[in-house]
Structure 1
Amino acid sequence: MGNSVKNATLIRVLRGLVVVGLIVTVVGVGVYFYFSDVETSPGNKITAGTLDLTIQETAEIEPIEPNDWGRIDNPDTICTTPDPTTGEITCHVEISHVAPTDTGTIVWTLKNIGNLKGYLTVDADVTSDNGTDTEPELTAAEAYGSNPDLSYMVTTTLSGGSITEPQTASLSEVETKFDTQIDRPMDPEGEIVYTLVWELPNTGSTFDNLAQGDTSTIDLTFYLEQVENQH
């Protein structure tokens, strides 16, 4: 074969290789540049809301003889600090040495510091202990034919919550006044305040001796719940 034939054959082979190379290049470009789009939705979360009821309690007393008669025994520790585990706060006031004409006020302030609306219900219970019967008390009990405990002799006036008009009753009856407080709406940051004004009246007779040594206790439980009629 002559050189001219060899050269012509080589040129045809090279042209074929160039064509194959172009085809491969075009195919490669077509695969790489298909249309595409990407959207993402990261970090989807579900977070529960909160219902969190806090309480503060304050008390004042107006004894006729400030240093000798009725007194608040724990004025600086009426409410505990929140429990580190449950967050629960417990409040109570102890008033001692009460005598006829003494009067005072107890205020309970409830607040919903959660981010959900709730419904507040109050459960009240009043109990009494006659303590030690003194000689003047026994003499009065014989004279009057009865010996009522302190809760029947202390008068109270309750206001706040949904109570539109102050409710006056003996201490023994105050639980029925509190028990009307059912499913009171509380928005987040909402506040409900109850005020109890109490007095041990002076009857001007030996009837007052029937209260000597007696102790009455008011137990209040405040429920904040998600829906009405839950409690």
Structure 2
Amino acid sequence: MTDDNPKLYDLSRRKMLAGLGAVGLASVGAGLGTSAYFSDTESFVGNSLTAGTLDMSVTADVVAANDYWVDQGGLDVSVVADSADPVVGLQVDDIKPGDWAIICFEISVGTNPGYVQVATENFAQSGGVNPEPEQVEEGDADNDADLGEALLTTVWQSYDDTSGDKAGLSTLDPVFNNASDLLTIDYAEPDEDGVAGSDAHYTNAVEADAVLSGGYIVKDDNGDPMIVSSDADGSDPEVADTYEFCLLLELPFEVGNEIQGDGISFDLVFETEQVRNNDTPFANTAGN
């Protein structure tokens, strides 16, 4: 059989091939649209971030006092400060030479370790009434405020609860008891209870405020800021479960009439800051 029209044959063949090529391209395009890549999926679900807490409580107990103050009930103090609301502390009238009291503080910080700072605020002195004996003692009618320099305000590291008197105090805190005397009275001699050693210095209220008014950061035995945490188990000597100290307030027998009617007032403030990521605790205050 012969091809009567070769050109017609060639044209039909080209068209056929072109049509097959179009179908082939269409098939390749369809293949690209339906193929699946290897894949895998992993998930972390239920994520949450919660800020930690830092909570401190301070307990103050009058553990001992002379008989007069005990009988008057003016030292019936056992309070806990554990909220933002201030707690009314010691309020005593009619202090006379020979009166004394010991107040012990226990500071506790929660499971998040914290540094502790103690400070006095609003320290004020008043001349009060100015009776004739005070005027005679001072040699004029001026009504100076002298109680702050006469009232001993010493900090002790511990107290033996079984003693019931000043003999239960042991170890003067060196930070609060190393200033020079502002009084002419020699308090270095042992008193009637034999508390003081021959080289001891008794800090008065004015001197104590000079230390505390700028804020005092509680230190450990190495002089570093102490870490306090209720999680302390004794395995780390640098972490304490609580911090305790005792404050002796005493108006010595040697003080004369110059303090009659005088008074002092102050706030005692406790603060804590986190230990973590805190190389300079209380840097925004005047802490020592």
Q: TM-score by structure 1 length? A: 0.66
Partner of 1:225: 273
- With over 3 angstroms needed to count, the CA separation of the structure-2 counterparts of 1:121 and 1:194, relative to structure 1, is same
Q: Could you tell me how far apart the structure 1 residues matched to 2:175 and 2:215 are?
A: 13
Q: 1:48 to 1:222 in 2, by over 3 A?
A: same
1:181 maps to which residue?
216
1:43 to 46, 55, 58: 46
Following TM superposition, by how much is the alpha carbon of 1:150 offset from its aligned partner in structure 2, in angstroms? 0.6
1:151 shift after superposition:
0.9
- The range that moved more, 158-167 or 193-202, is 158-167
Structure 1 residues 123 and 209, CA, compared in 2 at 3 Å: closer, same or farther?
same
Distance 2:43 2:85 in 1: 43
Superposition RMSD in Å: 3.5
Structure 2 residue identity aligned to 1:195:
C
Q: Give CA-to-partner distance per residue, 1:153-209, whole Å, 9 cap, x none.
A: 112221349945772311111123445732633342132222111211112xxx621
Structure 1 residues 218, 60: closer, same or farther in 2, change over 3 A?
farther
Cα distance in 1 between the residues matched to 2:104 and 2:133: 34
Corresponding residue for 1:90? Answer: 87
Closer/same/farther in 2, CA of residues 89 and 110 from structure 1, 3 Å limit:
farther
**Partner Cα distance (2:153, 2:226) in 1:** 25
More strand as a share of residues: 1
Quote the Cα distance in structure 1 between the aligned partners of 2:251 and 2:85: 32
Distance 2:257 2:52 in 1: 54
2:116: which partner in 1?
A: 120
What letter is aligned with 2:208?
Answer: V
**Distance in 2 separating the partners of 1:188 and 1:66:** 35
Q: Contact (CA 8 Å) 2:69, 2:99: kept in 1 or not?
A: no
Q: How does 1:37-186 map to 2 (within 5 A)?
A: 40-60=43-63, 62-65=65-68, 71-72=74-75, 75=77, 78-79=79-80, 87-88=84-85, 90-113=87-110, 115-125=111-121, 126-142=123-139, 147-160=144-157, 163=173, 167=177, 168-178=202-212, 181-182=216-217, 184-186=225-227
Could you tell me which residue of structure 1 aligns to residue 260 of structure 2? 212
1:121 and 1:182 in contact (8 A); partners too: yes
Instruction: Say which SS state the counterpart of residue 95 (structure 1) adopts.
Output: coil
Distance between the aligned counterparts of 2:229 and 2:103, measured in 1?
25
2-side partners of 1:89 and 1:67: how far apart? 25
Counterpart AA for 2:113: K
Q: Which residues of structure 2 form unaligned runs of 5+? A: 1-37, 159-171, 178-201, 219-224, 231-240
- In structure 2, relative to structure 1, the CA distance for the partners of 1:176 and 1:193 (3 Å cut) is farther
Report the Cα distance in structure 1 between the residues aligned to 2:156 and 2:128, rounded to whole angstroms. Answer: 30
Distance in 2 separating the partners of 1:138 and 1:61: 34
Say how many residue pairs are matched: 189
Q: Supply the AA of the counterpart residue of 1:97.
A: D
Task: Identify which of 244, 249, 265 aligns with 1:193.
Answer: 244
Deviation at 1:63, TM superposition (A): 3.0
How far, CA to CA, are the matches of 2:88 and 2:71 in structure 1? Answer: 25
